[in-house]
Amino acid sequence: MKSLLTLITASLFSLQAMAITADEVVDKANLASFYAGDDGRSQARMIIVDAQGRKQTRQFSLLRRTLEKGGDQQMLVFFSRPSDVRGTVFRVEKKVDSDDDRWLYLPGLDLLKRISAGDKRTSFVGSHFFYEDVSGRNLKEDNFTLVEESDSHYLIDAKPKDPASVEFSSYRVWVDKTNWLPSKVEYLDKQGELYRQVETVQIDTIQGHPTVMRSRISDLASGGYTLMEFRGVQYDLGLPESIFSERSMRQPPVKYLR
């Protein structure tokens, strides 16, 4: 009996030791969401729907290059449609140890505009996505707690370390155990009310990487939403670091956008 109790106790301690932590879940979800392959290219369309059901569209090409897995990245977004945003370029130098550097090029004015850290949670070219949604939020800005584990998902609760820097009080993330991609994110406002929701609509496996092909962000206060759709996704193209530059914002690297 003593030996049996010892074995049971040892097994329990072993299970506890193997239990995954909230930070481990978040790290895996971050890698799956933003770091598939060494680099990547895709075409995308945003369908923006307001509370009255009126629709706008935005089409763009996206180039992304990873400098270090889970670390710094470079990103370029080239808008092609409609005519009022054609030629607009969004560039990101993503950094894990400091604020990201973000720029927006407006061709009509030949203006290169730096996006301040305080503006990262504002509308991305009129959509319900924020600038921060496109490149990903820095994991060091939040504290994470593993709230629940089911057969299919981990539920993570996140609270900002600097509450005054954001419009939300917390957010919850459901991470799919099969692919480590977030299937849903819910944001709570300062009063603890749900006001914003991100949903993964479609996932395809491309070159061995589970990839979000359709997602939807809803503004639950206004009733509007934006649907993001991707196509032509490719990974590991060998994109050179030199194209992720200010020069490419004015002279797009057409060779790598096809």
pLDDT for the residue numbered 73: 97
Least confident of 39-43, 95-99, 194-198: 95-99
Segment 232-243 mean pLDDT: 97
Q: Identify the residue with better confidence: 13 or 163.
A: 163
- pLDDT bracket for residue 7 (50, 70, 90): low
Residue 251, pLDDT > 90, answer: yes
pLDDT for the residue numbered 5: 53
Which stretches of the chain are assigned E, i.e. beta strand? 39-49, 55-66, 73-81, 89-94, 101-106, 111-115, 142-149, 153-160, 170-176, 182-188, 194-206, 209-219, 225-235
Express each pLDDT in 66-79 by its tens digit: 999 999 999 999 99
* Distance, CA of 126 to CA of 135 (rounded, Å): 17
Residue 4, pLDDT > 90, answer: no
**Amino acid residing at 72:** D
Q: Identify the residue with better confidence: 18 or 102.
A: 102
* Distance, CA of 201 to CA of 81 (rounded, Å): 23
Q: Identify the residue with better confidence: 210 or 13.
A: 210
Q: What single string gives the DSSP state of each residue in 55-102?
A: EEEEEEEEEEEESSTTS-EEEEEEEEESTTTTT-EEEEEE-SSSPPEE
Superfamily covering domain 21-256? Lipoprotein localisation LolA/LolB/LppX (2.50.20.10)
pLDDT for the residue numbered 105: 96
Is 226 in contact with 128 (CB distance < 8 Å)?
Answer: yes
Express each pLDDT in 86-102 by its tens digit: 999 999 999 999 999 99
Is 93 in contact with 246 (CB distance < 8 Å)?
Answer: no
Residue 14, pLDDT > 50, answer: no
pTM (2 decimals)? 0.89
Q: Where are the domains of the chain?
A: 21-256
pLDDT for the residue numbered 258: 81
Is 21 in contact with 200 (CB distance < 8 Å)?
Answer: no
Q: What's the token pair of residue 66?
A: 């990873």
Segment 200-210 mean pLDDT: 98
